Structure 1
Amino acid sequence: MVEQHWWNGDSTRRGRRDVYIRTDGRCWSVEAQIGGESGRSRVQECPSRASAAILASAWRGNHPSWRELPS
């Protein structure tokens, strides 16, 4: 289940970036996706919700174009 989802605001396929925090109720993971659904992605397992939030923030960086989307 997706807990949080951020998008970098770029609607072009090559420029689109997404970061997701997901959980199955016990385990947490963060996915960074480049190029939309058909692009490349990297998933990192996390031991807690807090560590997933820290990692998601680091992967987004501090660029102001990132916005959270409804889950």
Structure 2
Amino acid sequence: MVDREKVEKEAEEIVRRFSEVLERYSFEEVEEYYILECKNVLRMDAEPSVDPSFREDVLKIAPKTRDGYIVVEKSKWE
């Protein structure tokens, strides 16, 4: 079982220590470097389109279905 508070405290400690290390360095004179030539490329989204047979295909391979939906086991999230 995962102790949420313990994980949160450990994550905060990791971020704090990483921040301390970064503060030791000056990045003002560092030139930006990108692996790809394109950066921050945006596109206009159109209306989504779905292949009509997609739903049927998914339902065919699902282990259990009911009334056109996939049935899954309800579980407790921890």
TM-score with structure 2 setting the length: 0.20
If each structure's strand is expressed as a fraction of its own residues, which one has the higher value?
A: 1
Higher helix fraction: Structure 1 or Structure 2? 2
Length-normalised TM-score, structure 1? 0.22
Higher RCO (C-alpha 8 Å, min separation 6): 1
